[in-house]
Amino acid sequence: MELESRFKAALGEIDHCNKCGFCLPACPTYRLTGSELDSPRGRIALVEGVLKNEISVDRGLEASLTYCLGCRACETACPSGVQYHRVLEAGRTLLDKSRPRHRGLTFVPRTLLRLTRQPRQLRRLGRLARRLSKWPMPRSMKNLIPMLDYQPQIVPPTPTRSEPQAAVAFFQGCVQEALFGDANQACQALLEAFGYRVDVPSQQTCCGALAWHAGKTDQARNMARRNIAAFEATGQVPLVNTAGGCGAMLSEYAEIFAEDLEWAARAEHFSNRVQDWTGIIRDQSVLPRFVGEGSRVVLQNSCHLVNVEGGGDGPADLAKWVEGDTFLELKGQNQCCGSAGIYNIQHPDWSGRLLDKKMEEVSCASPDRIVVVNPGCQLQMTWGVSRSGLSAEVEHLARYLYRAFVRGQREPQSLDQVE
Ligand code: SF4
Ligand code: SF4
């Protein structure tokens, strides 16, 4: 039944596609190869052919769909509103059905997926990695394991308002919390400084995105159910997180459970609460001073934040707010860096080529700092800095803003005084 409805949904989207090709320039893989088979329109045509029994599942379809990043830039570019991800999911299901061997996960992605079900182990791994970072090791290795360089201790600033004015519920994310917990702490500290009480439900788990995109839909749904139940205890307040990929998945629980009589309403309510944290801070009536260090700063945005959550402007708007730093807007700052979940592990060749193109543009801006809003992008851009020989630091936007906020607080103004 689920398969039937998945194929039906895909055919509905395919019917809306008029083959205009407006999505092609937005597609990173098409821009890389120039081949129709690596474009959204080509992929849609292939899946359509199989669903309509005009062609069979073959290695051409497999290659075409396998190398799709799932970044969904084609959806934002499409004037007809085609929801390409439904076509992609149907196509990958067809591949799974006909030749499951070819979709088998290798050891590293399989281990990573297992760890997302065991956040404590993932956290332990993060702590172990940080301890190891004190040991002597070749610089190249440090560059390739960016989490080792992390100093995650963020001391929350004294709130400038005495009593919380509102509340938010905070989703930590498995990889984000384990490897880049400092970004979560910085975001929470900022929200508290703006007068929010931050509730962090202890029963939450991984959002399920990695499992969902790897075709492990049952595993993903189980994680989603646990999160829905955990966050119901926090009431109606906005639900925020610092990982663009997680935010997109959380905002799509409603779609994942659309045909589940028991969970559909609860999932829809959950998804409606998801908001981007940068939007919440940006939309405050008065912003305090964020003071920089005279750095040149560029942004690598999260494609899922931009193309799925629709919150893509928030990070750049906030980065521009930092006094004393120069924010350099890149033409491709919203385009995928080639990280794309576990794409960079599964397809290091294509991911590396996409990253090299990205780094060409970044290098032209000669930044001191690259800010990111997703853990996968943070790892990928750190790898990019290493590959390209740049000396820029890669940092989560929340941590960058937090440090700028603390510097601004040393000035005599506070939020209450400004108001
Ligand atoms: S997906 Fe949208 S933009 Fe792309 S070819 Fe179809 S209708 Fe045109
Ligand atoms: S999801 Fe991204 S990579 Fe895949 S077809 Fe769309 S734009 Fe291209």
Q: Which of 37-51, 73-87, 308-322 has the lowest mean pLDDT?
A: 308-322
What's residue 125's pLDDT?
A: 62
The alpha-helical segments, DSSP class H, found in 133-173 are 139-144
Q: Which helix (H) or strand (E) holds 359?
A: helix 348-365
**Atom 7 (ligand 2) nearest CA:** 27
What's residue 341's pLDDT?
A: 85
Atom of ligand 2 at shortest range from CA of 77: 7
According to CATH, where is 3.40.50 located in the chain?
286-409
Q: Which ligand is closest to the CA of 21, given by its number?
A: 1
Q: Three-state secondary structure along the chain?
A: CHHHHHHHHHHHHHHHCCCCCCCHHHCHHHHHHCCHHHCHHHHHHHHHHHHCCCCCCCHHHHHHHHCCCCCCHHHHHCCCCCCHHHHHHHHHHHHHHHCHHHHCCCHHHHHHHHHHCCHHHHHHHHHHHHHHCCCCCCHHHHHHCHHHHCCCCCCCCCCCCCCCCEEEEECCCHHHHHHHHHHHHHHHHHHHHCCEEEECCCCCCCCCHHHHHCCCHHHHHHHHHHHHHHHHCCCCCCEECCCHHHHHHHHCHHHHCCCCCCCHHHHHHHHHHECCHHHHHHCCCCCCCEECCCCEEEEECCHHHHHHHCCCHHHHHHHHCEECCEECCCCCCCCCCCCCCCHHHHCHHHHHHHHHHHHHHHHHHCCCEEEECCHHHHHHHHHHHHHHCCCCEEEEHHHHHHHHHHHHHCCCCCHHHHC
Binding pocket residue ranges, ligand 2, CB within 6 Å: 26-29, 40, 43, 68-74, 84
CATH of 2-103, one of 1.10.1060.10, 3.40.630.10, 1.10.1200.10, 3.40.640.10: 1.10.1060.10
Please, which pLDDT band fits residue 186 given cuts at 50, 70 and 90? very high
Q: Which of 84, 339, 353, 358 to mutate to test the pocket of ligand 2 (most atoms within 8 A of CB)?
A: 84
Q: Which of 192-196, 197-201, 264-268, 282-286 has the lowest mean pLDDT?
A: 282-286
Whether 144 shows a pLDDT value over 80: the answer reads: no
Q: Which of 72, 334, 335, 337 to mutate to test the pocket of ligand 2 (most atoms within 8 A of CB)?
A: 72
Report if pTM > 0.75: yes
Cα-to-centroid distance, 14 and ligand 1 (Å):
9
Q: Under CATH, what is the fold of the domain 286-409?
A: Rossmann fold (3.40.50)
Q: Once rounded to an integer, what is the mean pLDDT over residues 170-179?
A: 91
- Give the tens place of pLDDT for each residue, 14-47: 999 999 999 999 999 999 999 999 999 999 999 9
Cα-to-centroid distance, 30 and ligand 2 (Å):
8
- Give the tens place of pLDDT for each residue, 6-15: 899 999 999 9
What's residue 148's pLDDT?
A: 45
98 versus 24: the higher-pLDDT residue is 24
Ligand 1 binding pocket includes 23 (Cβ within 6 Å): yes
Ligand 1 binding pocket includes 19 (Cβ within 6 Å): yes
Ligand 1 binding pocket includes 128 (Cβ within 6 Å): no
Q: Once rounded to an integer, what is the mean pLDDT over residues 267-283?
A: 95
According to CATH, where is 1.10.1060.10 located in the chain?
2-103
Ligand 1 binding pocket includes 47 (Cβ within 6 Å): no
Atom of ligand 1 at shortest range from CA of 19: 5
Ligand 1 binding pocket includes 22 (Cβ within 6 Å): yes
